[in-house]
Amino acid sequence: MRVLVVEDEVRQAAPVQRGLEAEGFAVDVATNDVDGLWMATEQSYDVIVLDVMLPGLNGYRVCAELRARRVATPILMLIAKDGEFDEAEALDTGADDFLSKPFSSVVLVARLRALIRRGGSNRAPLLVVGDLAVDVAGRSCTMAGTPIALTPREFAIIEYLLVHQGEVVAKSDIVSHVWDSAFDGHDNVIETIRSGGYRIRAHV
């Protein structure tokens, strides 16, 4: 799943990015309101983490502007605990959830997964196709009941394919949802990934 983090302070954005990447998310960071608006509008994200305290347009205004542009991506707003902003305002401007700073990476990840499930097309916590079962919340995968060890990237690809089962998924879709925008390799990388002896096939 691909996440956009809009946060101007590198000290705060970096640990969030690391924590999410460790959980298999592809993470892009926008460090100002202009970049955040542009990236959220022009690119495809599964969820957006939006800091309220931004120079220029604050997070509330960015959120309202995204909704005005009909960007429906779920948004979790980060709120300073003792700041002048409050939760009600976050929800009023079109945010789907909010989290007070400081927060743990575990809580952030759990909230984002919940948002992605709610925001998506009836996504179930357990994704199943044939003998393959993926527990999204538990980050585990089994084939006919036998656990399969996957890297975070492999898990992200399987999760993406299962969420879109029955659909033809382009390699470029997989790349854009599983890798961050810094990825500059060829999408042939998809064809070289094997997991548990089952080759992943993507249709262009």
Binding site residues, Ca ion, CB under 5 A = 8-9, 51, 53
Structure tokens at 139: 């980050």
Of 1 and 99, which CB lies nearer to Ca ion in the complex structure?
99
Handedness of CA 25, 28, 33, 37 (dihedral sign): negative
Minimal distance, residue 107 CB to Ca ion, in Å: 18
Q: Where are the beta strands (DSSP E) in 72-165?
A: 75-80, 97-101, 126-129, 132-135, 140-143, 146-147
3-class secondary structure for 155-201? HHHHHHHHHCCCCCCCHHHHHHHHCCCCCCCCHHHHHHCEECCEECC
Q: Is the dihedral of CA 190, 139, 179, 114 positive or negative?
A: positive
Q: Between 9 and 135, whose beta carbon lies closer to Ca ion? A: 9
**Closest separation between CB of residue 5 and Ca ion, Å?**
11
For Ca ion, the closer CB: 3 or 169: 3
One-letter identity of residue 20: L
Q: Considering beta carbons, is residue 28 or 51 the nearer one to Ca ion?
A: 51
Give burial (CB, 10 Å; 0-12/13-18/19+) of 82: exposed
- Are 201 and 170 a contacting pair, CB within 8 Å? no
CB-nearer residue toward Ca ion: 8 or 23: 8
For residue 52, the minimal CB distance to Ca ion (Å) is: 7
Closest distance to Ca ion from the beta carbon of 62 (Å): 11
Name which of 11 and 199 has its Cβ closer to Ca ion.
11
Least Å distance between CB 10 and Ca ion?
A: 10
d(CA 198, CA 186): 21
From the CB of 102, what's the least distance to Ca ion, in Å? 13
Residue nearest to Ca ion according to CB distances in the complex = 53
